[in-house]
Amino acid sequence: MVNPIKSYRNTFVLLLITLLIVSFINISLGSVSIPIKQLFITLFDGEVAKESWRTIVLNYRLPKAITAIIVGSGLSISGLLMQTLFRNPLAGPFVLGISSGASLGVAILILGASLFGASISSYTFTNFGLAIAASIGSFLVLSAVMIAALKVRNTMSILIIGLMFGSLTAAVISVLAYFSSASELQQYMFWSFGSLGNLSWNEIIALISIFSIGIVLVIFIIKPLNSLLVGENYAKSMGVNVKLTRNITLISTSLLTGVITSFSGPIAFIGLAVPHLTKLLFNTSNHKILLPAVAISGAIIMLICDSIAQLPTSEYTLPINAITSLFGAPIIIWLLVRKRKIYY
């Protein structure tokens, strides 16, 4: 007997091929131009004409491409989870204040350090320290939003509460910034621009580890997430532990968003825009299809944004946040103007 639920195998093959091509284009671009052939040789461990090319590719471009893939897919999955959990197409890690929570964590670490203990030099803040601060911050803010969500139930109110938490954290950051030194402020500003580069292989391993934990948690809630599509009451009547599902969603979202935001800064719009684009492409609500689809699409779009931010043939790199917003905002507007109803 044939299961009539579509598997979308061809679309997935196409997406994976696109991902490979885009990754390769991303690695081939940069301020130093490296011949395509030498690039291949480097990637597949052969004899390279110039040793500096190998260093550039292996220690700079490859880590950056991997970071882009993880950031893109992690944020997109988080956005999808939030949209399903809140049954609201406007939900996403950014809107619900998770990113501002991470910002607050980092701000307290960088800007607040001199207020609470001046002995800590700002240069001792490793990416790991930032990662922990951002994770704690994002988890606390998301928890606060979730507790409020349990009380009000109305999804619009939840979004407004999320925005309010965003304003609150922004206010606290302003106060911290007012009392900080110029160098601390600059360090925080650079973090908030977002950046995919500058990660060492050790940091990438840490990023991948936490990302993997988040993804494993998500895989275990695919089944209950699908039943939540018909509402909490039906889900309960089918034996789903709604509270547990919500908590796992909360934990995996804050792990994914927290670790990504801490290593790469608050990346805008990807978490909101990619799930919608994917839903338009796949026209399904089935999480067994949507989760891998959103992960691959997110990675592809992040790689494209990063390739644009490279400003090919130039020495400058634009802040990645500018590119994702330039790309994300018109898409959301276009979707709304088309008046096509978005089913989430």
Partner 1 sequence: MKLISKHIIKVSNLSIGYTSKKEVKTIASDLNIELNAGNLVCLLGENGIGKSTLLRTLTKVQPSLKGAVFINSTKLATYNYANFAKIVSLVLTERLPDSSLTVYELVALGRQPYTNWIGYLTTEDLLIIESAFEKTNTKHLLNSKCYELSDGQLQKVLIARALAQNTPIIVLDEPTAHLDLHHTINTFSLLKNLATEFKKTIIVSTHEVNLALQLADELWLMTPSKFISGKTSELIKNNDLDLLFDSNLISYNKTLNQFTMKNP
Taking residues 69 to 88 in sequence order and writing x for each that binds partner 1 by CB under 8 A, - otherwise, the string is ------------------x-
Taking residues 275 to 314 in sequence order and writing x for each that binds partner 1 by CB under 8 A, - otherwise, the string is ----x---xxxx-x--------------------------
Closest distance of CB 239 from partner 1, Å: 3
Compute how many other C-beta atoms are within 10 angstroms of the C-beta atom of residue 11. Answer: 15
Closest distance of CB 343 from partner 1, Å: 4
By CB under 8 A, name the one of 21, 238, 281, 333 that touches partner 1: 238
Nearer to partner 1, 168 or 342 (CB): 342
Can residue 179 be called a binding residue for partner 1 (CB under 8 A)? no
- Supply 81's token pair: 């989870």
Can residue 117 be called a binding residue for partner 1 (CB under 8 A)? no
Closest distance of CB 60 from partner 1, Å: 39
Give the span between the Cα atoms of 101 and 93, in whole angstroms.
10
Nearer to partner 1, 78 or 227 (CB): 227
By CB under 8 A, name the one of 234, 330, 334, 338 that touches partner 1: 234
Q: How many CA atoms lie within 13 A of 34 on its CB side?
A: 28
Contact 263, 317 (CB under 8 A): no
Considering only 8-16, 106-114, 129-137, 237-245, which stretch makes contact with partner 1 by CB under 8 A? 237-245
5-24 positions binding partner 1, by CB under 8 A: 5
Nearer to partner 1, 177 or 219 (CB): 219
| Straight-line distance from the first to the last Cα atom of the chain, in angstroms, rounded to the nearest whole number | 30
Closest distance of CB 234 from partner 1, Å: 7
Contact 265, 198 (CB under 8 A): no
Closest distance of CB 327 from partner 1, Å: 24
Contact 97, 163 (CB under 8 A): yes
185-224 positions binding partner 1, by CB under 8 A: 219-220, 222-223
Closest distance of CB 216 from partner 1, Å: 12
Contact 143, 257 (CB under 8 A): no
87-116 positions binding partner 1, by CB under 8 A: 87
Q: What is the C-alpha radius of gyration for the chain, rounded to an integer number of angstroms?
A: 21
Q: Which residue has the tokens 């639920």?
A: 5
Question: How distant, in Å, are the alpha carbons of 66, 222, 271, 295, 324 from that of 71?
Answer: 9, 21, 10, 10, 12
Give the span between the Cα atoms of 257 and 207, in whole angstroms.
11
Compute how many other C-beta atoms are within 10 angstroms of the C-beta atom of residue 284. Answer: 16
Nearer to partner 1, 169 or 227 (CB): 227
Give the span between the Cα atoms of 153 and 200, in whole angstroms.
43
Dihedral class, residue 83 (left if φ above 0, else alpha if ψ from -120 to 50, else beta)? alpha
Question: How distant, in Å, are the alpha carbons of 14, 202, 230, 271 from that of 250?
Answer: 31, 27, 20, 15
Can residue 230 be called a binding residue for partner 1 (CB under 8 A)? yes
By CB under 8 A, name the one of 50, 236, 338, 340 that touches partner 1: 236
By CB under 8 A, name the one of 11, 28, 38, 226 that touches partner 1: 226
Q: Which residue has the tokens 């988040």?
A: 214
Give the footprint of partner 1 on this chain (CB under 8 A): 1, 3-5, 87, 219-220, 222-223, 226-227, 229-231, 233-234, 236-241, 279, 283-286, 288, 341, 343-344
